[in-house]
Structure 1
């Protein structure tokens, strides 16, 4: 059959937003490399095309690539990284096989809710839309999180105003699910009792409300923690946590490999200590969010780990080249915007090794260019697919002088 079709009908790669691209440059959504596209637009699935497991695909914005098998998904993530590096004139280094988190492993999620009479829509937004896809199944969330979706509909039917919209943030912690409800009014006794009964009957670790003035805890029988590097760390509201435990483990392993035998390390944008608490030797953990910095400091002190915490905004006051040069290795895990203010100072420092963790290939490539121009070599990149079936890319990379 393939011999009867022109070469342009073969999908040869995926574009950045997940559309298949044929050999003659056409963009065809919901295809996989190896699919054949007929003149009328019909698609003959190829060897990397799979049947999407979820009834909500492709409407739901939680996943964009359920039509891919793992081989094609991994190749897509690798290509995204190589393309970003190429845009900065950087030849692709050793881009390793992708670590892909398994289905039903996502331990945090942000859902949207809307009340229509006694009906409550609850789920992710539709792709590129504010319309809510009412979630009846999910193949990415941990079962503990998805189990709360049906009872939450009943709770929000009483708490949301008519035609009102709100948000639901769920995180799986050491004690159970940490639940934050946004734009929910629960000032009267009936609503307060309903919240307490819901939290107790579903074994929540914590229940909080945010009416626009910040989270207010309504239920927390025991202090909520997440275990990082074998240490239970207090979890402030809104603190960052890697999306899956499997992805976190892959990133930690890559960072440890990248820093080698370094015994004096700085962990920049340290957060709650995902890396700082898993590193050998003495660690300076620098974090700009006050709640996260205090939580990490308390946890490290409690177990007497040699982790010293500096509450410092690295965008406004980055480490100087002299400060950075005192360390044998630096771990860098900035937000999506990258570390534009910090990287030039690292490039001009004497630090011999850098482990860079990123969730944005474009800003990673920009920062990599600055490090390479400063005398570093990009040794390898480890892609990590925590957001399975998504166009979201994460990675860890090793730089050495």
Structure 2
């Protein structure tokens, strides 16, 4: 009995058959038979997690590494092709390994006499009470059953969010939706933080995080520099992913004496580049800007931190033209206004790091129309087994 082969994985994780049909749960190499059944192919893998297909954290655990690498690569190259952008050199795709995720937000709820803690189901607010997780760093997952026990004692019936980040000092934990009624719950939280060696424990009751426990200032090391870590600040999801992004940033800006790092955050790329260049680090979030500025000043590094909202007030062409290279790492929406200013400047080299191939492609088209070439492009899959894809790119003219 013949059928239609599955040839690729679509952006949301469905398999796409040769005849154009989208098939849930299919991977390249499978075959969709005429009777509607799916014949498994060589790239089908046994999901490593019992919660797969319910938990919304992963969509592609049924695909082997070859299929995952191809999916990540295709997402990025297809985005370029959608804008008729040719790639001079496609670099090797990077895929983060299992148990590498160093930050995550879990959701909790007291229901039926027990406390559920985990990720939400795909397309639902229902919580999957996780008993395992092959994506989280072991240091983070080790806290899950202990947090579940503690929150069962002190949480009300309201939903709870638990943000976990692995820092230099250990796990940073912020709880949202927990109301402390009396001294008992407060003492329980402090005992928990001390007994489990948390780097920091914070409580967000709708007005921002309030630190309850922080034995020493919490930092993350970026480019060899310890940078103060404000609560729930952005951090690349994996150490290996951050390393490949930073390595490309260094290679793509090699020889530049001055670099503008736009949407710089805590300074992930600014500090990685500051050994060979003077860097302007521009960031809108005040706490991240101040953390970057403080670390640069303490280490006497050639990083000048500038507080500026690049969506409302992008660097202008004459400002951009002063730099040998421009690096951008914008949010998922991209950087339409800032890229337009770059395109109208005298900039010759642009490094664009993106977490959204679609918005990147739109911005890339603006650069191409202004005379840039896409010299190098690397697909990056930090969010293993998910449909979230990132990339690094180098444009020159």
Q: Give the TM-score normalised by the residue count of structure 1.
A: 0.97
Q: Which aligned pairs between 1:298-309 and structure 2 lie closer than 5 A?
A: 298-309=294-305
Q: Which aligned pairs between 1:105-254 and structure 2 lie closer than 5 A?
A: 105-162=100-157, 164-254=158-248
CA-based RMSD: 1.1
The one of 270, 275, 279 aligned to 2:269: 275
Q: Deviations over 1:80-138 (max 9, x none)?
A: 11222222232355332211111000000011100025411111100111110110000
Match of 1:341 in 2: 337
Deviation for aligned residue 1:187: 4.1
For residues 187 and 171 of structure 1, the distance between their equivalents in structure 2, rounded to whole angstroms, comes to 26
Deviation for aligned residue 1:278: 0.4
Q: Residues 110 and 116 of structure 2 are in contact (CA less than 8 Å); yes or no, is this contact kept in structure 1?
A: yes
1:5 partnered with 2:12: no
For residues 367 and 154 of structure 2, the distance between their equivalents in structure 1, rounded to whole angstroms, comes to 51
Q: Residues 199 and 215 of structure 2 are in contact (CA less than 8 Å); yes or no, is this contact kept in structure 1?
A: yes
Moved more, 37-46 or 148-157: 37-46
Match of 2:44 in 1: 49
Match of 1:85 in 2: 80
Q: How many residues align?
A: 395
Q: Residues 270 and 285 of structure 1 are in contact (CA less than 8 Å); yes or no, is this contact kept in structure 2?
A: yes
- Structure 2: any 5+ residue segments left out of the alignment? none
For residues 248 and 35 of structure 2, the distance between their equivalents in structure 1, rounded to whole angstroms, comes to 46
Matched residue of 1:169: which SS? strand
1:103 partnered with 2:103: no
Q: Residues 59 and 387 of structure 2 are in contact (CA less than 8 Å); yes or no, is this contact kept in structure 1?
A: yes
Match of 1:294 in 2: 290
Q: Residues 373 and 395 of structure 2 are in contact (CA less than 8 Å); yes or no, is this contact kept in structure 1?
A: yes
The one of 350, 353, 361 aligned to 1:354: 350
For residues 154 and 209 of structure 2, the distance between their equivalents in structure 1, rounded to whole angstroms, comes to 16
Q: Residues 86 and 92 of structure 1 are in contact (CA less than 8 Å); yes or no, is this contact kept in structure 2?
A: no
Q: Residues 258 and 399 of structure 1 are in contact (CA less than 8 Å); yes or no, is this contact kept in structure 2?
A: no
For residues 231 and 248 of structure 1, the distance between their equivalents in structure 2, rounded to whole angstroms, comes to 14
For residues 396 and 341 of structure 2, the distance between their equivalents in structure 1, rounded to whole angstroms, comes to 15
1:40 partnered with 2:35: yes
Match of 2:66 in 1: 71
Deviation for aligned residue 1:308: 0.5
For residues 369 and 238 of structure 2, the distance between their equivalents in structure 1, rounded to whole angstroms, comes to 34
For residues 96 and 34 of structure 1, the distance between their equivalents in structure 2, rounded to whole angstroms, comes to 25
For residues 208 and 17 of structure 1, the distance between their equivalents in structure 2, rounded to whole angstroms, comes to 34
Matched residue of 1:124: which SS? strand
For residues 152 and 281 of structure 1, the distance between their equivalents in structure 2, rounded to whole angstroms, comes to 44
Q: Residues 87 and 377 of structure 2 are in contact (CA less than 8 Å); yes or no, is this contact kept in structure 1?
A: no
For residues 40 and 247 of structure 2, the distance between their equivalents in structure 1, rounded to whole angstroms, comes to 36
Matched residue of 1:266: which SS? strand
Q: Residues 106 and 244 of structure 1 are in contact (CA less than 8 Å); yes or no, is this contact kept in structure 2?
A: yes
The one of 234, 244, 257 aligned to 1:263: 257
Matched residue of 2:128: which SS? coil
Deviation for aligned residue 1:37: 2.2
- Structure 1: any 5+ residue segments left out of the alignment? none
